[in-house]
Structure 1
Amino acid sequence: MDVSEGPARLRLENRLLVLEGPENRCWSAPVEEIAVVVLSTEWVRLSAPVLTALAAHGGVLIACDRRGLPVATTLPLRGHTLFPQRLRLQIAAGRPCQKRAWKALVRAKIRAQAGVLRRLHGEDGGLETLVEKVRSGDPENVEAEAARRYWPRVFALPEFRRDPDSAEAPNNLLNYGYAVLRGMVARALVAAGLTPALGLHHRHRENAFALADDLMEPFRPIVDEQVARILRGTGREVGLDQEIKRRLLEPMVGRYFYEGAWRKLATILHCLAARLVDVFEGRANKDWPLPTSWDGVWRSE
């Protein structure tokens, strides 16, 4: 749910989350079905019961600044019943285990990037040949080599540079989409009893979502492809208005063909978080293979 226009009010009524918007417009949905609420306007009121109901059902609330860029995320404090045990497992996970998991994530990311380029431009820019070069921990930084080939091609902008602090298109669209995706991944990790702060590869001491940043890597190309399609239809000067945000959220609520069935992205993220638990508990294949059926192609509900 994206709240882009104000004044607006969020309230609970008979287990429904109700959005009252301008001109008496009203929308509602069962609170347990809502994965993410994005507050894109400062002119919105909500109560403590709304926050507690979202938290009780594993929902995430993302607040944006005046530019429309996400600046804060809430996560449920009441996590998995085995949270203390799994926290100890995360802390005890050795570097070889973490490096193998990071290899799997980087390989999946590069495959997804190659798929985006093939769908948009008919060729993968040589990315597919890089996949098997990724070794445990990616010591040669093949991920960076893939990025150097990928970014100039994906938007057909040879001069493009990825800048997380930029408010100009297409970086502003990427920042918004990635922030929502990050919140969804963090939600899945907490639901699996894992803490997002303890990463596999991302390790900055001020990053409270390091593990979420790790696990979201193969899914970033979902956002990239949607941004590229938006730019094709609107041109390069694109702001974060209500319609653009709606389109950016479409892949987040779409379904993807995963392990033999069309599943919601939130479901897939929960499955991968559970597989990561298996890695930490020593029950998973040592290379932690991500599903080969994942290709990033989505369809609407």
Structure 2
Amino acid sequence: MAGFRTVVIQSPCKLTYKDGFLIIRGDEVRTVHISELHTLILDTTMVTLTGYLICELMHEKVNVIFCDEKRNPCGQVLPYAGSHDTAARMMAQANWSDTRKAALWQQIIQQKILNQAGVMQEVSVEAARQIAAFAETVTPGDATNREGHAAKVYFNRIFGKDFSRDLKSDRNAALNYGYSLLLSCFNKEVTARGYATQLGIHHRNAYNSFNLSCDLMEPFRFLVDEVVLHQGERTFDKEYKYELLDILNTEICYQQQKMYVSTAIARFVRNTTDYLDGQTEWTEGMMMHYEDASHESHRDV
């Protein structure tokens, strides 16, 4: 069974491995069975890990995130090969059909915009209708950049006309933190499937090691946006981070089944890569819809 727990380490301690358990030695000793772990976040630099533990975490495909001295995510541990046929999958990935890539990107951007419209309903129903109209005109590959036009309207309406993603603010810090958490989960699942995170279907930045993950996470960004919208202008502190971490422990409905967001991400990555490999045809039910996010949280950190 795939891991489901998110564990956050915030105090100085030593992490070791014994008999299938993560051992946390700090002011007291705590244990977590590694098979239960989905994500381990080291939210302090005052942590010591054994090499044995790191190897076991990679073997179990646990998402391990390191944070810097400012407690912001700065790195992630991923195994070299997430699947027994990684080489074959990467060769197939390099030859994905341009037609399928363009068609999938069209579906992704259409749903991203519709999910943004769902968030905007809390601010203005009329503005939500306006942005939803952009989704109707998205072409294969989004050649007319409906994504960019929708984003400008979206952020200005939910956060105010003076808001810019380039500003240094608590709100942007929260967005960046939340997006980093989502990205790490997509990196984990893309790697576990045996694909290269560098080879995207739309993002092609030579300096971005996570082009494919950035592509696939787009319909899920609204989960972060909605939390940040509800937090208002508050300071980005430890409790704020907990609210964002809780996204991974939220139960939503995906493909008519109730599951954690982390599980939905794994299923979505499988569906999209199977489609790109030519193993399946795309269906509407494979996409992540705003209406299916029930926001039932089960924090376990």
The alignment's TM-score, normalised by the length of structure 1, stands at: 0.89
Question: What is the rounded CA distance, in whole Å, between the counterparts of 2:60 and 2:148 in structure 1?
Answer: 37
Matched with 2:144 is 140
User: Structure 1 residue aligned with 2:69, among 62, 66, 70?
Assistant: 66
- Does 2:49 match 1:46? yes
Q: Matches of 1:135 and 1:253 in 2, distance apart?
A: 34
1:6 to 2:11 alignment: yes
1:90-169 equivalences in 2 (<5 Å):
90-119=93-122, 121-122=124-125, 124=128, 126-155=130-159, 157-163=160-166, 167-169=168-170
2:257 maps to 261
More displaced, 142-151 or 288-297?
288-297
Tell me, what secondary structure is at the counterpart of 1:19? strand
> Structure 1 CA distance, aligned partners of 2:224 and 2:284?
24
8 Å contact from structure 2 (residues 186, 265) kept in 1: yes
Contact 2:118 2:290 in 1 (8 A): no
1:300 aligns with 2:297: yes
Distance apart, 1:54 and its partner CA:
1.3
1:32 paired residue number: 35
TM-aligned CA deviation for residue 221 of structure 1? 0.9
Superimposed CA distance per residue, residues 94-127 of structure 1 (whole angstroms, 9 cap, x where no aligned partner):
3222111111111111111111122455552522
Within-5 A mapping of 1:195-214: 195-214=196-215
AA matched with 1:138: D
Deviation at 1:227, TM superposition (A): 1.4
Distance 2:107 2:134 in 1: 13
CA contact (8 A) 1:257 1:294 kept: no
CA RMSD of aligned residues (A): 2.1
Q: Is the 8 A contact 2:115 2:289 kept in 1?
A: no
Decide whether aligned partners of structure 1 residues 106 and 90 sit closer, same or farther in structure 2, where only a CA change above 3 A counts.
same
Instruction: Give how far 1:33 is off.
Output: 2.1
AA aligned to 1:150 is Y
- Any stretches of 5+ residues in structure 1 without a counterpart? none
Residue of structure 2 equivalent to 1:272:
268
Mapped contact 2:8–2:42 kept (Cα < 8 A): yes
User: Which secondary structure does the structure 2 equivalent of 1:12 belong to?
Assistant: strand
- 1:224 corresponds to which residue? 225
The gaps in structure 2 that reach 5 residues or longer are 1-5
The answer as to whether partners of 2:114 and 2:290 remain within 8 angstroms in 1 is no
Cα–Cα, structure 1 residues 39 and 299, in superposed 2: closer, same or farther, change >3 Å?
Answer: same
How many residue pairs get matched? 291
Distance 2:170 2:135 in 1: 29
Amino-acid identity (%):
27
TM-score by length of 2: 0.89
Indicate how the Cα distance of structure 1 residues 88 and 268 shifts in structure 2: closer, same or farther if over 3 A, else same. same
Q: What is the alpha-carbon distance in structure 2 between the residues aligned to residue 207 and residue 273 of structure 1?
A: 19
